[in-house]
Structure 1
Amino acid sequence: MIPTISTIPIQHLASGDRLDIQVYKFVGTQPGKKVYFQSNLHGAEIVGNAVIHQFIEFLMALDETHLFGEIWLVPVCNPLSTNQRTHFFSTGRYNIYDGKDWNRIFWDYEKEEEELEEFANTQLELEIDEIRKNYLERILLKFQKHLEKIQSPSSVPFSERYRYCLQSLCLDANYVIDLHSSSNQAIDYLYCFQSRENSAKAFLLDYGILMNEYDGDAFDEAFFKPWLALEKKLAELGKPIQFDIDSWTLELGSGMQMNPDSVKKSIFRIKNYLARKSVLKIRGFPLESTDVHLVNFTSKSNIKKYYAPTGGMIQSRVQLGSSIKSGERLYQLLSFNKNGELPTLMDVCSEGDGLVFDVSTNHAVNQGEYVLSVM
């Protein structure tokens, strides 16, 4: 297959230069569902770009009759964050103009839907595909007003213009996959919404964080929360259904790295997921073991982050991916002083059982700075 390639301008700079994103669209000969991928929303989280590149190569070698529907891919979806540097280090988690996290700016229709119960009542006698079509029309109609504001004389801040560019590409998708990594060092895992645990098995990951609370306005949340809200309301009215719609954040290892193992495994996992969803028809997929694959889920509210109780240097830290028991030492903190006293070593121990899934890159910490996370 040969993709259709679209270049979309996102910002015109004072220097006269222009920042763009590029969309690769693969369309099969068979009708089906729409899949949307993006990567590198945060500047240091580059591994998803390698995943998308290799997936583009895979699709180009695939016969178009084996794709049911269409797949849209957007690598380097945030050039502003990708190009942000401090010395040798990629930063790019926050917009330096307004201080906002790039993944906390997105428009959530659920927050503006004031007549959900009234709408749901009008859909009780309809089939699920018709309900999806009707609800999507409401979302898109409301979303269109944002473009009107962007084009008005007063316009909008850049973050609103940028989010419009990305969300305009995916609001009508069935499946959204946002490729991230830790900004530090981490294992591979995913974020999963409640009620989609069974779908998560198809990614063949061992660990997942179950979304029972929300930071607010993240890309995966903004796409999926309206559909979850409608499912919940319909269930309350006696019509329990589940739309064929998913939203995922895949966390693929460490920041500022393109780990070949994470890339290779991610390609395999995504193929398995899309074959399980009948988007791809490819030999060997989905694996027969998919439906019995065990994902170890931890509720987001149960994630424990550890911060330095005092300033110093981290040493003797447990390895990333280690299972730990309550009371077990997580790390030692070598602390210096200016009181004419010898340096001290402080043991920091775990407050509970779990798995160390994310650790800081810097082994020097000021008091209150992040050290590691346990799920």
Structure 2
Amino acid sequence: MIPTISTIPIQQLTSGDRLSIQVYKFTGANPGKKAYLQANLHGAEIVGNAVIHQLIEFLTTLDDTKLAGEIWLVPVCNPLSTNQRTHFFSTGRYNIYDGKDWNRIYWDYEKECEDLEDFAKSQLNLEPPEIRQNYLERIQTAFKKQFEKIQSPSSAPFSERYRYQLQSLCLDANYVIDIHSSSNQAIDYLYCFQSREESAKAFLLDYGILMNEYDGDAFDEAFMKPWLALEKKLAELGKVIQFDIDSWTLELGSGMVMNPNSVKKGIFRIKNYLAQKGVLKIPGFPLESTPSHKVNLTIKSQIKKYYASTGGMIQSRVELGSSIQAGQLLYQLLSFNKTEELPTVIDIYAEADGLVFDVSTNHAVNEGEYILSVM
């Protein structure tokens, strides 16, 4: 297959130069579902670009009969954050103009849908595909107002202009995969919405975080929450259905690196997921073991983050990926106290059992700065 490649301008700079994103669209011989994948929303999280590149190479080797529906791929989806530097280091988690996290700015239809119950009641005698189409049309109509605001004389802040361009690519998708990594160092895992635990198995990951609370306006949330709200409202009215719609944040390792193992496994996991969903028809996928695969999901509110109790240097920290027990030594803080006393070493012990899934890259911390996370 040969993709259709389109370039979308997203910002003109003071100098006259333009920043753009590029979309690779693969269309199968047969109709089907739409999968949307993007990477590098945060500047340091570059690993997904390698995954998408290799997916492009793989898909170009396939005949179009092996794809049912469409796959849209958007690498380097946020050039502003990708190009951001502080000396040797990629930062790019926050928009330096307004201070907002690049993954906390997205338009969420659930927040403005005030007549959801009336809509749900009007759909009770319809089949799921028709309900989905009717609700999608409502979402798209509301979304058009974002464009009208951008086109008005007063226009809109760049974060709203940018999110419009990105979200317009995936509003009608069935499956959204937002590929991230830690901005620090981490294992591979995913974020899973409640009621989508069965679908999560297709990624063949060992660990994940189950969303029982939301960060607010994240890309995966903004896509998925309206559909979850409709499912819940229909269930309350006695019509229990689950739309064939998923949204995932796929976390592949550490920031500022493209770990070959995370890339290789990431491609494998995405192929298996798309095959499980019937989008790809390729030999060997999905794995027969997919339905029985066990994903260890930790409820999001139970994630424990550890912060520096005082300023100092981290030493003797447990290894990333370690299973720990309550009372176990997690790390030490070497503290130079400036009180005419000798330096002190402070031992920090685990509050509960768990798995260390994310650790800070920097071993020098000010009081209150991040050190590690346990699921």
The verdict on a shared fold, with TM-score over 0.5 as the criterion, is yes
Residue type at the aligned position of 2:371: V
For residues 81-126 of structure 1, what are the alpha-carbon distances to aligned partners after superposition, in whole Å with 9 as ceiling and x for unaligned?
Answer: 0000000000000000000000000000000100000000000000
1:8 corresponds to 2:8: yes
Corresponding residue for 1:336?
336
Matches of 1:184 and 1:309 in 2, distance apart?
19
Residue type at the aligned position of 1:359: V
Corresponding residue for 2:318?
318
Matches of 1:317 and 1:20 in 2, distance apart?
41
Corresponding residue for 2:295?
295
Matches of 1:232 and 1:339 in 2, distance apart?
58
How big is the alpha-carbon RMSD for the aligned residues of Structure 1 and Structure 2? 0.4
For residues 281-335 of structure 1, what are the alpha-carbon distances to aligned partners after superposition, in whole Å with 9 as ceiling and x for unaligned?
Answer: 0000000000000000000000000000011110000000000000000001111
Equivalent positions of 1:112-191 (< 5 A) are: 112-191=112-191
Corresponding residue for 2:79?
79
Residue type at the aligned position of 1:103: N
Corresponding residue for 2:109?
109
Instruction: Give the number of aligned pairs.
Output: 375
1:248 corresponds to 2:252: no
Residue type at the aligned position of 2:93: R
Residue type at the aligned position of 1:85: R
TM-score (norm 1): 1.00
Residue type at the aligned position of 1:114: E
Equivalent positions of 1:224-373 (< 5 A) are: 224-373=224-373
Shift of 1:276: 0.3
Matches of 1:245 and 1:21 in 2, distance apart?
25
For residues 333-356 of structure 1, what are the alpha-carbon distances to aligned partners after superposition, in whole Å with 9 as ceiling and x for unaligned?
Answer: 111122221111110000000000
Matches of 2:44 and 2:238 in 1, distance apart?
46
Residue type at the aligned position of 1:67: L
| Structure 1 counterpart SS, 2:168 | helix
Matches of 2:33 and 2:111 in 1, distance apart?
26
Residue type at the aligned position of 2:250: L
For residues 49-103 of structure 1, what are the alpha-carbon distances to aligned partners after superposition, in whole Å with 9 as ceiling and x for unaligned?
Answer: 0000000000000111000000000000000000000000000000000000000
For residues 240-278 of structure 1, what are the alpha-carbon distances to aligned partners after superposition, in whole Å with 9 as ceiling and x for unaligned?
Answer: 000000000000000000000000001000000000000
Residue type at the aligned position of 1:262: S
Residue type at the aligned position of 2:108: D
Residue type at the aligned position of 1:334: L
Equivalent positions of 1:203-218 (< 5 A) are: 203-218=203-218
Residue type at the aligned position of 2:270: I
| Structure 1 counterpart SS, 2:107 | coil
Residue type at the aligned position of 1:208: G
For residues 181-215 of structure 1, what are the alpha-carbon distances to aligned partners after superposition, in whole Å with 9 as ceiling and x for unaligned?
Answer: 00000000000000000000000000000000001
Matches of 1:275 and 1:78 in 2, distance apart?
28
> What percent identity do the matched residue pairs reach?
83
Matches of 1:215 and 1:70 in 2, distance apart?
30
Corresponding residue for 1:54?
54
Corresponding residue for 2:196?
196
Matches of 2:338 and 2:173 in 1, distance apart?
59
Residue type at the aligned position of 1:286: P
Residue type at the aligned position of 2:179: L
Shift of 1:168: 0.2
Residue type at the aligned position of 1:173: A
Q: Structure 1: state its 5+ residue gaps.
A: none
TM-score (norm 2): 1.00
| Structure 2 counterpart SS, 1:107 | coil
Matches of 2:135 and 2:204 in 1, distance apart?
31
| Structure 2 counterpart SS, 1:126 | coil
For residues 1-35 of structure 1, what are the alpha-carbon distances to aligned partners after superposition, in whole Å with 9 as ceiling and x for unaligned?
Answer: 00000000000111000000000000000100000
Matches of 2:343 and 2:14 in 1, distance apart?
51
| Structure 2 counterpart SS, 1:169 | coil
Matches of 1:183 and 1:251 in 2, distance apart?
10
Q: Which contiguous aligned blocks of 4+ residues in structure 1 show a shift greater than 3 angstroms?
A: none
Matches of 1:236 and 1:243 in 2, distance apart?
16
Corresponding residue for 2:44?
44
